[in-house]
Amino acid sequence: MSPPKKDSPERIGLHSLAPAPGSRRPRKRIGRGEGSGTGKTSGRGQKGAGSRSGSKRRANFEGGQMPIHMRMRKLRGPHMKKSMPFEPFRTHTQPVNISALDSRFDAGTEVTIELMKANGLASRKGVPVKVLAKGELSKALTVHAHGFSAGARERIEAAGGSCKIVDA
């Protein structure tokens, strides 16, 4: 085994790790003389509350403007539509009316969610589909959806069809 050549660069290892040049800056030493640029008042300016120790400079202070947490509405509880936190428990569904099913599908069709999407209904991805009772249904359809209103279920079954609930 031959020894390494003298003119080859030094091997990289744990002993030679260092941050990239210019990526680390030295700490700002305040109050160390006028020549440093942050002497005397240490970058705090003259007088006033901000120059004193114990001054309460809040991170979210808005310069005296009414702060955001005081501008927001104050109704509490997740069950109210107008309340904070902003509707974390609200469920979202996309509606499909039975009149739309009547106009787009032939009698005896098994209407799945994929088939609805292909026909321009229930186009929002990942949002559950609920069939609503607006309009009339004159054909027997087997409808697959995440939910049905009571009126829609009645009208589909009255027309000779059936309702199948799909799990999300």
Phi, psi of 3 (to 5 degrees): -70, 155
Provide the 10 A C-beta neighbour count for residue 70.
9
User: Which residues does 53 contact at the CB level (< 8 Å), separation at least 6?
Assistant: none
What is the 3-state secondary structure of the chain? CCCCCCCCCCCCCHHHCCCCCCCCCCCCCCCCCHHHCCCCCCCCCCCCHHHCCCCCCCCCCCCCCCCHHHHCCCCCCCCCCCCCCCCCCCCCCEEEEHHHHHHHCCCCCEECHHHHHHCCCCCCCCCCEEEECCCCCCCCCEEEECEECHHHHHHHHHCCCEEEECCC
Q: What is the pLDDT of residue 49?
A: 86
For residue 144 the two structure tokens come to 């697959």
pLDDT at 60 over 70: yes
pLDDT at 41 over 90: yes
Q: What is the pLDDT of residues 79-132, one digit of tens each?
A: 666 655 555 667 789 999 999 999 999 988 899 999 999 999 988 888 999 999
More confident residue, 11 or 26: 26
Q: What is the pLDDT of residue 42?
A: 92
pLDDT at 18 over 80: yes
Using only C-alpha atoms, the chain has a radius of gyration, in whole angstroms, of 35
What domains lie within the chain, and their CATH numbers? 94-165 (3.100.10.10)
Q: What is the pTM of this model?
A: 0.49
Return the top range by mean pLDDT from 6-10, 70-74, 82-86.
Answer: 70-74
More confident residue, 1 or 12: 12
Q: What is the pLDDT of residues 133-166, one digit of tens each?
A: 999 999 899 999 999 999 999 999 999 999 999 9
Cα(70)–Cα(91) distance, rounded to whole angstroms? 28
